[in-house]
Amino acid sequence: MKRVFKIQEIIRILESLGWYKARQNGTSHRQYQHPTIRKTVTIDGKLSDNVTINNLKSMERQSGIKFRDYAE
């Protein structure tokens, strides 16, 4: 069975690895950056929303992080 992530969980993982919120467009699109890695990760949706598999793969590509490795 595949793990379903919430937006809030993805943000918690990113922040624990040193990423910070650089800017936010409206209420849904948040952009996170890392102080030493020159990449930006865009996270869209409310904190309580489930992350679709396509969005999860996109965030993994943007950040270089496999979020499935951090599943509790």
> What pLDDT was estimated at residue 25?
81
Residue 42 lies inside a defined structural domain of this protein: yes
Residue 2 lies inside a defined structural domain of this protein: no
The pairing of beta strand 40-44 with beta strand 29-33: antiparallel
Residue 1 lies inside a defined structural domain of this protein: no
> What pLDDT was estimated at residue 42?
94
User: How many distinct structural domains can be found in the chain?
Assistant: 1
What are the two backbone dihedrals, phi and then psi, of residue 38, each rounded to the nearest 5 degrees?
-90, 65
Which CATH number do you get for residue 27?
3.30.920.30
The whole model's pTM is what? 0.88
pLDDT 10s per residue in the chain (72 long)?
Answer: 577 899 999 999 999 999 999 999 887 899 999 999 899 999 998 999 999 999 999 999 999 999 888 876
> What pLDDT was estimated at residue 72?
65
Cα separation, 49 vs 17, whole angstroms: 22
Residue 45 lies inside a defined structural domain of this protein: yes
> What pLDDT was estimated at residue 31?
95
- Tell me the two tokens of residue 5: 């992530």
